[in-house]
Amino acid sequence: MSETFFGPDFTQLQEQDPEIASVVISELERQRKSLQLIASENFTSPAVLATLGSTLSNKYAEGYPGKRYYGGCEEVDKVEVIGIARAKELFGAEHANLQPHSGASANVAVYQAFTKPGDTVLAMSLPHGGHLTHGSKVNFSGKWFNVESYGVRQDNELIDYDELRDIAKRVKPKMICSGATAYPSLIDFKLIREICDEVGAIMWVDAAHFIGLVAGKAIPSPVPYADVVSFTTHKVLRGPRGGMILSKAAHAAAIDKAVFPGMQGGPIMSAVAGKAVALKECATQDYQDYAKKVIVNAKALATALEKEGMRAVSGGTETHLALIDIRSTGVNGKVADERCGRAGISLNKNAIPYDPETPAVTSGIRVGTPATTTQGMGVAEMSTIASLIARAIRDGEDDAKAAAIRNEVYSLTAKFPVYPR
């Protein structure tokens, strides 16, 4: 053969399945043209994308490097060993497991490693910013475990650590979870460690949303304090969709056993390779600069939205996302989401603390800056984006006005192209 085969061949896809190929192209165009403000989304690098379509995806590798249940794992073992070493070095962790298929899968493994069905777990309330896997009644965590919830104070919308400590002392949880999906402020991990020690609880941090900021040294790390840290590998981290777990060495065996064979079979080795590539990218100065810019842009966007008459929950943001109370617009979160979508702006409706609306409607929206920062946008563009959001919420129901806003969105994103080649 004259050329090395790497994997993806889009020409072949077009010839073999033009229907799916057309969707791949149309999604690329959507990402290029629209404003991507979903806090949990980003644009992963071409190098990471290359691993996902590689022949590594053909290999079944149940087990761990050097201890597989299938032969022929010599090459994929190298990938996982490299990825583990990079994760431990980047985060200063004693142990790392790159195999979970997703953040939720990683969380399942954490529960399995440290608890039994019926045990008491203390975690952040979903209406106050927590995640489904932190005890929602529609999720396995709420069905299989006795989950007690803590929340934020009504006066400043920050975590009520006094309440957290009081509940922990009363219910004596086996494990305390910190971390959220819609909490824009920093978490006091040192204080939570103290509370865990007071009641003898495992300290678990679900860092899915902010781990990329930790990798970029833009915010404090939970790793020195926590027994275990779980997270997704996309979002700010800018890797492939997947999960990862870091832990103290004392918990390594329990974590690995909980992931395999406890929670899943073979890992997706192409994704493990993608995680390894992303971790190498995160160790660069360029990435550290990026992580800091993400926060600068999020602060600027929150401030600009307040100038448009909306309210930033907890007074602003210290991370990559802002939670915005839009009740002053006279429009609920569901309608705002729909109107922004018509105008080429992707964001999501989101409950705010003590929200009078139902979860399906909400009084707020959540916006994030990982993707726009990857594109190269800065503070000036955040002001423009806030204006576009405000106009879309106000006028997006009108077809002509939505089209006009959409054209302005396209003009803005054209200056910051995604995957330009």
Residues marked active site are found at: 60, 62, 206, 232, 235, 241
**Distance between CA atoms of 319 and 131, rounded to whole angstroms?**
17
Amino acid at 151: G
Helix (H, G, I), strand (E, B) or coil at 233: coil
Distances from the Cα of 299 to the Cα of 180, 292, 387, angstroms? 18, 11, 15
Q: Is 303 helix (H, G, I), strand (E, B) or coil?
A: helix
Cβ proximity of 147 and 172 under 8 Å: no
* Residue 216 phi, psi dihedral angles, 5° rounding: -85, 10
Query: Taking the mean position of all CA atoms in its chain, how far away is CA 322?
Result: 14
Residues listed for the chain: 421
User: What is the rounded CA–CA span in Å between residue 421 and residue 222?
Assistant: 38
The C-alpha atoms of residue 402 and residue 225 are separated, in whole angstroms, by: 48
Euclidean distance between CA atoms 183 and 206, whole angstroms: 12
Tokens 């086996």 appear where? 174
Structural contact between residues 113 and 99, judged by C-beta atoms closer than 8 angstroms = no
